[in-house]
Structure 1
Amino acid sequence: MSVTMEALESHLQANNFLQEILSSIRQTIILTDLEGKVLFANPAIQETLGYKSSEIEGKMLSLIFTPEDLSSLYPNLLFMTKRDEPFSGEVMLKRKDETRFFGFLAMQTCSSLAEGGAFIVVSVQDIDQLKRLEQDFWGPRYGDLVKAASEIAHQLRNPLVGIGGFVRRLYNSSPSNPKHDTYYHHIMDNLNRIEEVVTKVEFFARLPKPSFTKEPINELIEIALQPHVQKIEEKHIQVAIDLEEAKLYVDSDQIINVFSIIIENALDALSGGGNIAIRGKLKENQFKIIISDNGPGIAEKDIPYIYTPFFSTKPDRVGMNLAIAKRIMESHGGRIWVKTKIAEGTTFSLLFPLERRRSIRVARLEV
């Protein structure tokens, strides 16, 4: 049975000590009936949500939720509290002036009134400032490292272009000589390698924020395979694809890059012949991509370092690709991990969220 506003007011008036406690708490406290009608709000609500207590009492708690959360999240929270299932977590909330903020919201049912009625206790804490402080603490340190890497790459690029140009001019203006030819190609190969390092460091440091669109998974895989078709044919490698139909909410260019990196790794592992399998399946509210090969596998001692920038077991490789792939997957709210066995092969798994919002925000619990 839900408590009425009159019963709650009577209880609070009879217990001045309880009312003084609620009013003195600096965290916003709201009491509602089981349907979400606000029965009481302490004065802290004005600082957090912009309402005076008198303005929100008698109104519905839905006032503080964003429009997109009214269809699922808000009714789900009421449904949970009616079943004595408390909730606490970060939620996007809305102030009286329509501005939004991240709040830490806690809701639970209380049924301790003398009248025997039940009501919901809601507490709201504005954590926008905490998030800003966290960003201020970590942001400059990480940002400084990224800026330094980006600036170093930029400062290297222009001299590289100049050196390459002068080397070509010197080579073209000199008499033909087998020894000079060897020196020239050695210099140019190393300059090209340095330029590749610069390009990948710049991309890693300046990785743009994903621009999400819904893309068919089979098309993303097909596009990622295209640059490797010639090498696949030359090495006589069999590629098997088995994908369940799905559309992923991703930045297509970035995720195609991730798939291409994993496919390239598999091709490098296979010296001649061999198999690459690309499978994809729905897993609850996620989609899992598995790319595996039957190559020699990765040494156990190297596994902890494969996502570390510049780590490579091959002297002619930069060692940035898997670091880039991991960073892209994290920016998409996904995961990447590897399983490997010597002489049997390597499997990379990539997990993508199909819905970027929590399930409580997108589907009604009550049936």
Structure 2
Amino acid sequence: MLNELEQTKAELQRVHMEELKRMERMATLGELATAVAHEIKNPLAGISGAIQVLREDMSEGDPRREIITDVLQEVERLDKTIKDLLMFARPKEPEMMKTNLKELIERTISLVNIKARKQEVEIKTQIKDLTLNVDPQQIQQVLLNLLINSLQAMPSGGVLIITTSHDDSNCYITVEDTGHGIAPEDIPNLFRPFYTTRGRGTGLGLFISKNIIEAHNGDIDVESTPGKGTRFTVRLPV
């Protein structure tokens, strides 16, 4: 009996020490992320402004305009990476306010409409008119992350479905795609920081999304079938 208690105590101490080490590593990563992001942020803003001026000076038929547009898109991607790093290093407390969920989702969809059309992805919605007490900017960030992930899973076309439902206690937002799906071995790691199944990206989008939803006293779940598609479900209290 004493041996079992000692073994249990030793195991608890080991787990506690591992958690402390993990937290120290995360704190160090947070400090590093903040330093790197601040070093890049201002020069990148200057580069973006200069490129936009160059593009405006070019005629619509100028073949260089397409190259400049591609460069600008890469700059915007880097800017998003910096924002992700800062959000990882300094997560903000949600600023709750009454928010029309239908309007918020529709605004978020409008941000990816052009990309969806280019990829021949059809967006379908079934959204209820519901008001929630949330931080609209943070929830929009979560939705945008999920929509972008779905579009990246369907480079050659497909269907993206956004639905909402609710009961007496919770609202559910589902983002479902007909993309290539996620391998079963990747599912447990999806919400870990810096974990990505793609060659590009920080691997912070889903980690940040999970933290945001949990700060709203909700949760986020994923189901996926390789070759058929993926479904993310966000639960938020009503």
Using structure 1 for the length normalisation, give the TM-score: 0.47
Q: Deviations over 1:154-208 (max 9, x none)?
A: 34556x65xx79xx9xxxxxxxxxxxxxxxx9xx89x956665333211222222
Residue number in structure 2 paired with 1:279 = 163
Residue number in structure 2 paired with 1:290 = 174
Contact 2:179 2:227 in 1 (8 A): yes
Residue number in structure 2 paired with 1:331 = 215
Q: CA RMSD in A?
A: 3.0
Following TM superposition, by how much is the alpha carbon of 1:149 offset from its aligned partner in structure 2, in angstroms? 3.2
Number of residue pairs aligned between Structure 1 and Structure 2: 195
1:350 aligns with 2:238: no
Q: Deviations over 1:203-256 (max 9, x none)?
A: 222222111011111101001111111112222222221122311111001101
Q: Distance in 2 between matches of 1:213 and 1:197?
A: 27
Please point out which of 214, 217, 228 is paired with 2:98: 214
2:172 is aligned with what amino acid?
K
Report matched runs for 1:96-115 at 5 Å.
Answer: none
1:260 is aligned with what amino acid?
L
Residue number in structure 1 paired with 2:199 = 315
2:37 is aligned with what amino acid?
A
Q: Distance in 1 between matches of 2:97 and 2:78?
A: 34
Contact 2:81 2:201 in 1 (8 A): no
Q: Which has the higher contact order (CA 8 A, sep 6+)?
A: 2
Q: Which runs of 4+ in 1 moved over 6 A?
A: none
- Gap regions ≥5 residues in structure 1: 1-136, 169-184, 355-367
3-state secondary structure, aligned to 2:186: helix
Report matched runs for 1:139-178 at 5 Å.
Answer: 146-155=30-39, 157=41
3-state secondary structure, aligned to 2:83: helix
Please point out which of 127, 149, 153 is paired with 1:243: 127
Percent sequence identity over aligned pairs: 28
User: For the structure 1 residues 344 and 157, does the alpha-carbon distance in structure 2 shift closer, same or farther, using more than 3 Å as the test?
Assistant: same
3-state secondary structure, aligned to 1:278: strand
Q: Distance in 2 between matches of 1:230 and 1:296?
A: 21
Residue number in structure 2 paired with 1:303 = 187
1:261 aligns with 2:145: yes
Report matched runs for 1:73-92 at 5 Å.
Answer: none
Query: Higher Cα Rg: structure 1 or 2?
Result: 1
Q: Distance in 1 between matches of 2:122 and 2:80?
A: 29
2:190 is aligned with what amino acid?
I
- Gap regions ≥5 residues in structure 2: 1-19, 52-67
User: For the structure 1 residues 145 and 252, does the alpha-carbon distance in structure 2 shift closer, same or farther, using more than 3 Å as the test?
Assistant: same
Report matched runs for 1:108-147 at 5 Å.
Answer: 146-147=30-31
1:224 aligns with 2:95: no
Q: Distance in 2 between matches of 1:266 and 1:225?
A: 12
